[in-house]
Amino acid sequence: MADVTAQLSGYRQSPRKVRLLADLIRGKSVDNAIIELDIAVKRASAPFKQLLLSAIANAKNNYKLEQSTLYIKRVAVDGGSPLKRSMPRMGGRAFPIHKHTSHISIVLAERAVKSTKSKSTKTKLSTKDKPE
């Protein structure tokens, strides 16, 4: 089974702040991760949730997978290229400002479905069938 991926490039927030959410949902089922992102009080939670929903849609449409069997296998938040700006400072000098960006990637995988049938086929003898 192939892993399902979704990526968000150039998100305009520092990777350090976005990694807090990545650590929160790593390894969880997608249903629990959506709930966690709904209640998280972080600016990145809305784009993160949108990216997760995109990955779920990729799994449904491209691989015909059920949402209930998916979990978050890997979440990576990498630094993107910073936007370079300058701020005027004392003496007419330009002071550099780096506005950080992030690249976020999510990998979903399917959990093995546990069988509910027991392997033992022992049958109980009723009182009528017991030998005397």
Q: What is the spatial distance between Cα 53 and Cα 43, in angstroms, rounded to a whole number?
A: 17
Per-residue pLDDT of the chain in tens (132 residues, 90 and over written 9) = 679 999 999 999 999 999 999 999 999 999 999 999 999 999 999 999 999 999 999 999 999 999 999 999 999 999 999 999 999 999 999 999 999 999 999 999 999 877 666 555 555 555 666 565
What tokens does 38 get? 């709904």
Instruction: Tell me, yes or no, whether 99 lies in a domain.
Output: yes
Instruction: Tell me, yes or no, whether 56 lies in a domain.
Output: yes
Q: Is the pTM of this model over 0.85?
A: no
Q: What is the spatial distance between Cα 39 and Cα 109, in angstroms, rounded to a whole number?
A: 24
Instruction: Tell me, yes or no, whether 126 lies in a domain.
Output: no
Domain count, the chain: 1
User: DSSP per residue over 90-129, as a string?
Assistant: GGGPEEEEEE--EEEEEEEEEPPPPP-S-S----PPPTTT
Packed helices 45-63 and 30-39: angle between N→C axes, nearest 10 degrees: 160
What is the domain extent for residue 60?
Answer: 4-110
8: domain CATH number is 3.90.470.10
